[in-house]
Amino acid sequence: MDCEGDEPDAACGASASPDGGKTGFAQVQDLPKSPVQVTLTLSDAQGGTLVERRVDVTPEATFPNGEHCGEGGPQARLTVAGGAVTTG
């Protein structure tokens, strides 16, 4: 992302291009900043399982309003491509 300065009101820009991907979010209460085991199951429209994997991931702190503001909830990322699940 390109920003015009480092101040909180600096203008930033980003762009996206369609790639056929899909994005989902799951809010997990009391998610720790320590290793957790996640089971990810993706199903098709008929309920059939497309992907089912168990992975270990370590959620990390987020700073949604910048590093100089308070810490937000920890987050982890899972990516699925070609039937493989990766973290990070």
What are the DSSP E strand ranges found in the chain? Answer: 2-3, 12-13, 36-43, 49-57, 60-62, 72-75, 78-81, 84-87
pLDDT at 56: 94
- How many separate domains does the chain show? 1
Q: pLDDT tens digits for 50-66?
A: 899 999 999 999 998 88
pLDDT at 16: 62
Whether residue 15 lies inside any domain: the answer is: no
Q: How confident is the model at residue 1 (pLDDT cuts 50, 70, 90)?
A: very low
Range(s) of the domain holding residue 70: 26-87
Whether residue 9 lies inside any domain: the answer is: no
Q: pLDDT tens digits for 11-43?
A: 666 666 777 788 888 888 889 999 999 989 888
pLDDT at 9: 61
